[in-house]
Amino acid sequence: MHAEADRLLPWYVNDTLDEDERQQVDQHLVECLHCQQEVAWLRNVREEFATQAEQDDVSPKMQHLHRRMRNPRRASPTSPVWQRRERRLAWLVALQAAVILGLGIGLLSQQHVPYRTLSAPGDKGALLIVVFNAQAREAQMRELVRASGARIVGGPTAQGAYVLRVPDAREASARKLLAASPQVALVEDLSAGGNP
């Protein structure tokens, strides 16, 4: 009973308890000296607080705060420095939009180049499979490809084979040139089904 009454004492002093709780505290206060002293101390604190609030004149300050809360000002800086920053930012945003638009137009205007396989019908020329010797240097391989009039269109495979495309008019001479070279281990005509 004491703990319950002690817990209710601040509301008792402020006169905010309901009727049943107030009667319970009143009955307890008749018997408990400790709680009587606590009520006296709480009333003293309450009076001192009220006196201090009157001296500080809190109410006009609160009224001023309420007025400011009802009429908030727009919180935007008006200094010339801030205005210059805003203009620079606007120009940067416009420039960025123009660059993005230009890139988009550029991408849309590019012709689409479809993926084509080595045997696509649009490609002209014979396909040769060439395997170079392991001792052949890259410069020698490049010179042989150039001299034969071919171009590399695939490779090297895991076995070291390259696919070369040779114009139809140069197919026989390119095959002969590559087969005669000591840097070439194998030449096969892929277009003719692998016949040498």
Taking only the tens of pLDDT, the chain with its 196 residues reads: 788 888 888 888 888 888 998 999 899 889 999 989 998 998 888 888 777 766 666 567 676 776 777 665 554 556 677 778 888 888 889 999 999 998 888 877 776 655 555 555 555 778 888 898 888 888 888 898 899 888 888 878 888 888 888 888 888 888 888 889 988 888 888 765 544 4
Q: What is the pLDDT of residue 75?
A: 47
Q: Which domain holds residue 177?
A: 126-189
- The DSSP-derived string for 97-149 is HHHHHHHHHHHHHSPP-----TT-TT--SEEEEEEE-TT--HHHHHHHHHHHT
Q: Whose structure tokens read 């139809």? A: 168
148-156: Cβ within 8 A, 24+ apart:
148/173, 148/174, 148/177, 148/178, 149/173, 149/174, 150/174, 153/118, 153/127, 154/118
Q: Among residues 68, 92, 107, which one ends one of the domains?
A: 68
Q: Please state the pTM of the whole predicted model.
A: 0.37
Strands 151-154 and 184-189: unpaired
DSSP letter at 74?
P
Nearest to 178, CA basis, from 157, 163, 159, 158: 163
Establish if 148 belongs to a structural domain. Answer: yes
Q: What is the pLDDT of residue 96?
A: 92
Establish if 91 belongs to a structural domain. Answer: no
Establish if 59 belongs to a structural domain. Answer: yes
Establish if 90 belongs to a structural domain. Answer: no
Q: What is the pLDDT of residue 196?
A: 46
Establish if 130 belongs to a structural domain. Answer: yes
Distance of alpha carbon 159 from alpha carbon 186, whole angstroms: 12
Establish if 147 belongs to a structural domain. Answer: yes
Q: Among residues 28, 44, 68, which one ends one of the domains?
A: 68
Token reading at 133: 């010797």
Q: What is the pLDDT of residue 40?
A: 92
Instruction: Give the domain CATH number at 149.
Output: 3.30.70.80
Establish if 121 belongs to a structural domain. Answer: no
DSSP letter at 167?
-
**Buried-exposed string 124-133: b where 16+ CB fall within 10 A, e elsewhere:** ebbbbbbbbe
How many domains, in total, are found in the chain? 2
Q: What is the pLDDT of residue 120?
A: 55
Sign of the dihedral through C-alpha 119, 124, 129, 132: negative
